[in-house]
Amino acid sequence: MKYLYYILIILVLGSGGFLLSEWLQSKRETKINANAEIVLEKIKKVAKLVTVEAYFSEMYDYKDFYSFDWSIFRKKALIRVRAKVSAGVNLEQAKFTTFPEQKLLKISNIPPAAIISMDHDIDYYDITEGTFNSFSKDDFNRINNDAKTHIRNTAEKSQILPQARRQALDLLRGYTDILEISGWKVEIDSSQLVQ
């Protein structure tokens, strides 16, 4: 009977210790210390007229394997790419010539519409690695670059550039109307833009 009390006391103390450690574990806060240093490298003046934005979403299936497409030699991932592509005209290349005595503004050398910027987000789903083939940092960088290149190619084949051209011409005509109300005449050589 004496041993039964000792065993019961040990069980109660052990259970109490376990419950106390679980309670303390749930109350513990994770502390993260992250440092970042941002350096402004360059500020550059630009004159880019964004006239159209297009939004793309793509599911990208990546598979890489050695010699045989067996699970131990294969790595694969399903990736969702979402991108915003901005297209327009780089007005830094255009030439603006004013003739104040004649109240004349000539705009020439307007470049064709082009993709001005592209922002993309990548979400990785279903990443599977084989026993002898696993993902490396270079693989993720290559997937990122391939996805970006694919979105750019898709955007260039879409209607975004013709729409950007039309919108740029409409905006320039709008500015022309405003200047003509002020008594100025505007001549626009848009032959390159229309190409």
CA distances to 36, 154, 162 from 158, rounded to whole Å, are 39, 6, 9
Range of the domain at 52: 43-194
Please report whether residue 28 resides in a domain: no
pLDDT in tens, the chain (195 residues): 667 777 777 877 778 777 767 776 766 666 667 777 788 888 888 888 898 999 999 887 777 766 666 666 677 888 888 999 999 998 888 888 888 888 888 888 888 899 999 998 988 887 777 666 677 788 888 888 988 898 999 999 999 999 998 898 888 888 888 888 888 888 887 665 555
Cα–Cα distance, 11 to 18 (Å, whole number): 10
* The pTM of the whole model exceeds 0.85: no
Please report whether residue 25 resides in a domain: no
Residue in 80, 86, 89, 88 with CA at minimum distance from that of residue 55: 86
Please report whether residue 97 resides in a domain: yes
Cα–Cα distance, 163 to 165 (Å, whole number): 5
Cα–Cα distance, 35 to 138 (Å, whole number): 24
Please report whether residue 19 resides in a domain: no
Please report whether residue 79 resides in a domain: yes
Do residues 73 and 132 lie in contact, with contact meaning Cβ atoms separated by under 8 Å?
A: yes
How many structural domains comprise the chain? 1
Please report whether residue 18 resides in a domain: no
Sign of CA dihedral 164, 167, 171, 177: positive
Please report whether residue 20 resides in a domain: no
The letter for the amino acid at 14 is G
Provide the pLDDT for residue 72.
Answer: 67
Which residues are CB-neighbours of 184 under 8 A, at least 6 positions away?
103, 104, 105
Please report whether residue 9 resides in a domain: no
Provide the pLDDT for residue 170.
Answer: 87
Helices (H), 34-159: 137-157
